[in-house]
């Protein structure tokens, strides 16, 4: 079985479990007045589960073995790719999520962007540091002032914006 079919099989199982919960468990606790609505809270999950099942079945049925082109990822040669950098980025993302609350949004975002840039091979710190700082402040400004979602920018609890 090819890698495409294995991934589609796992995706099919996930969609079946998601569909089961959408069809049989989500609507059990609905209040009586919502049961007469044409659209329930489970309508979108039902559609997603159905589309996911159809897509997974199409991949399982229609996947034929073919030769791998030069610009495609060959799963038989995963050791030739930079898996270490990808793993480092995943660890950095997890650390970033844990650092948001204790050290604030701006500091954790700047640290994440700088360390991930270094992990990916950027060595010009005179460019990396200002770009990370401007990016973090710009994103904080957009989320806080434009969207109206409060993000604690600094680790100090007495600092309120």
Tell me how far the alpha carbon of residue 127 is from its chain's centroid. Answer: 27
Of the candidates 56, 51, 50, the one whose C-alpha atom is nearest the C-alpha of residue 6 is 56
What pLDDT is stored for residue 17 in this prediction? 94
Residue 110's nearest CA partner among 87, 89, 84, 137 is: 137
Q: Is the pLDDT of residue 158 over 60?
A: no
95 falls in which pLDDT band (50, 70, 90)?
Answer: very high
Q: What does pTM read for this prediction?
A: 0.55
Q: Find, among 84, 18, 26, the residue nearest to 51 by Cα.
A: 18
pLDDT digits 0-9 by tens, 69-84? 666 666 666 677 788 8
The band of 115, judged by pLDDT with boundaries at 50, 70 and 90, is: very high
What percentage of the chain carries pLDDT values higher than 70? 85
| Distance, CA of 67 to CA of 48 (rounded, Å) | 32
Query: Does position 133 have pLDDT exceeding 70, yes or no?
Result: yes
Which tens digit of pLDDT belongs to each residue from 9-60? Answer: 999 999 999 999 988 888 777 777 777 788 888 889 999 999 999 999 998 8
Q: With contact defined as beta carbons under 8 Å apart, do 26 and 42 qualify?
A: yes
Question: How many CB atoms within 10 Å of residue 14?
Answer: 14
d(CA 31, CA 40): 11
Per-residue model confidence (pLDDT) at position 23: 85
CA 25 from chain centre, in angstroms, equals 26
């Amino acid at each position: 079985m090819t890698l495409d079919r294995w991934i589609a099989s796992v995706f099919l199982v996930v969609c079946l479990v998601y569909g089961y919960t959408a069809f049989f468990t989500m609507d059990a606790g609905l209040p009586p007045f919502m049961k007469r609505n044409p659209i329930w809270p489970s309508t979108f999950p039902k559609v997603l589960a159905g589309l996911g099942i159809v897509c997974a079945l199409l991949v399982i049925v229609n996947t034929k073995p073919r030769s791998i082109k030069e610009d495609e990822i060959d799963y038989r040669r995963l050791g030739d790719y930079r898996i270490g950098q990808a793993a480092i980025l995943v660890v950095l993302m997890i650390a970033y999520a844990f650092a948001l609350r204790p050290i604030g949004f701006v500091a954790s975002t700047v640290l994440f962007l700088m360390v991930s840039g270094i992990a990916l091979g950027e060595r010009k710190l005179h460019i990396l540091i200002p770009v990370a700082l401007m990016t973090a402040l710009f994103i904080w400004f957009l989320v806080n002032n434009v969207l109206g979602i409060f993000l604690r920018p600094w680790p100090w609890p007495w600092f309120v914006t």
